[in-house]
Amino acid sequence: MTARTITVAAMRGAGAAFSIEPATLAEPGPHEVLVRIAGVGICHTDLVARDQLAPFPLPAVLGHEGAGIVEAVGSAIGHVAPGDHVVLSFDSCSTCDNCRRDKPAYCREFYQRNFTGARAGGAAIHDGAGCALHGRFFGQSSFASHALAAERSVVKIADEVPVELMGPLGCGIQTGAGAVLNALMPPPGSSIAIFGAGAVGLSALLAAVIAGCTTMVVIDRSGERLALARELGATHIVDATAGDTVAAIQAITGGGADFTLECTGVPAVLRQAVDALTVPGTCGVLGVAPCGAEVSLDITGLLSGRTVRGIIEGDSVPQVFIPRLVDLWRAGRFPFDRLITRYPLADIDRAIAESHAGGVLKAVLCPA
């Protein structure tokens, strides 16, 4: 099999800096698509894998919010062709019971396909010394100039949009927006409280505006992020450092919110998100906590009709939901691009540091 030379941001040790280096990438197999990456978002899950809080074999190429232009396709590919603009999302099997019910984020093979680095035919990426770099992270590994993506990871989008900005729709933005529009589905006039004003939480806010929620509360510790939440449509903001957050939400909503979303991954905040619900009410859990983290909830509060449910990838079918989000963006109704700051791929560590410092909501790396 022939191979081409590409540039990657390689991850060689838990928590270590990324290494920008040349590598070789195999040509696509029958069910693979070769994509020249125009932009790739940095997601919290990339950092979880980097730090080995969720194991992924190293050395590796991470990245799972890629977008770009198709350069070649495998023999079994029919839904995209060279020259198409695409967003890359998670992989799924298409045949299990959940995939057949249009729940691919709960695919029975989700872990195997997205977190093991396994690929039929062996590793597709090799470094300059010929050593394998694990790939297939979320079916793509897009911290690179090119990615070899799994068939079901590839979503065709309109050519007229700036493809370099669209990558975050593949995971973080899809997760927040889909949690509202696909999972919770709040009726017009309802109330929602969103804990965490990062990219996921603010995407959920944008979706709540689209859904017609009339009371939208955003809770965070950052005054700058809360101010942006106001600009994006929040009717109320709550400083998480300023006192009793649950009481503040209850006062705003007249007893509790119809819906809450926990986007921080902090167990104590999840308890607040449940306690801040009205009766009945539903709390969606999006935040990724360390493996084994536990939370204590009041059983009586749950018996009164409250629901707590986890949501992966916004309950989305990427091939349906991502083009819908693109259309909403084109119509001016989903301005997720306001969350984005661009960096060269070579500045990946600076982008991560500035995201951790709180000034950057969604860093997008541009290889070119």
Residue pointed to by tokens 């991470």: 62
Q: Tell me if the bond preceding 59 is cis, omega within 30° of 0.
A: yes
State which fold the 176-311 domain adopts.
Rossmann fold (3.40.50)
Tokens 């590919």 belong to residue: 77
**The dihedral of CA 33, 34, 36, 37: what is its sign?**
positive
Query: Residue 322: which residues within 8 A CB-CB, separation 6 or more?
Result: 87, 89, 155, 157, 169, 170, 174, 316
* Distance, CA of 296 to CA of 300 (rounded, Å): 12
* Six token digits for residue 217: 């509360």
CA dihedral for 266, 271, 272, 278, sign (positive or negative): positive
Could you write out the DSSP letters of every residue in 24-62? EEEPP-TTEEEEEEEEEE--HHHHHHHTTSS---SSEE-
Q: What's the pLDDT score for residue 3?
A: 83
pLDDT at residue 55 in the model: 85
d(CA 207, CA 234): 11
Phi/psi of residue 155, nearest 5 degrees = -120, 120
Q: Where in the chain is the domain with CATH 3.90.180.10?
A: 3-170+335-366
Parts of the chain belonging to CATH 3.40.50.720: 176-311
> Cis ω on the peptide bond leading into residue 186 (within 30° of 0)?
no
Q: Residue 2 has what pLDDT?
A: 72
What is the model's pLDDT at position 49? Answer: 93
What is the Rg, in whole angstroms, of the alpha carbon atoms belonging to the chain?
20
- Between the two ends of the chain, the Cα-to-Cα distance in Å is 26
Question: How far is residue 363's CA from residue 350's CA, in Å, rounded to a whole number?
Answer: 10
Distance CA 144, CA 33 (A): 15
Give 332's contacts (C-beta < 8 A, 6+ positions apart). none
CATH of segment(s) 3-170+335-366: 3.90.180.10
Q: CA of 284: how far to CAs of 186, 287, 309, in Å?
A: 12, 9, 5
Q: What is the pLDDT of residue 292?
A: 85
User: Which pLDDT score, from 0 to 100, does residue 105 have?
Assistant: 97
Residue 227 has a pLDDT of 97
- pLDDT score of 54: 82
pLDDT for position 305: 95
pLDDT of residue 194: 98
What is the spatial distance between Cα 108 and Cα 99, in angstroms, rounded to a whole number? 8
Look up the pTM and report it: 0.96
pLDDT tens across 248-300, in order? 999 999 999 999 999 999 999 999 999 999 999 999 999 988 888 899 999 99
Short-list 28, 80, 50, CA closest to 143? 50
Divide the 368 residues of the chain into consecutive groups of 10 and give the mean pLDDT of each group. 88 95 96 98 94 91 98 97 98 98 97 94 94 97 98 97 98 98 98 98 98 98 97 98 97 98 96 98 93 91 95 98 98 98 98 94 95
179: nearest Cα among 162, 199, 163 = 199
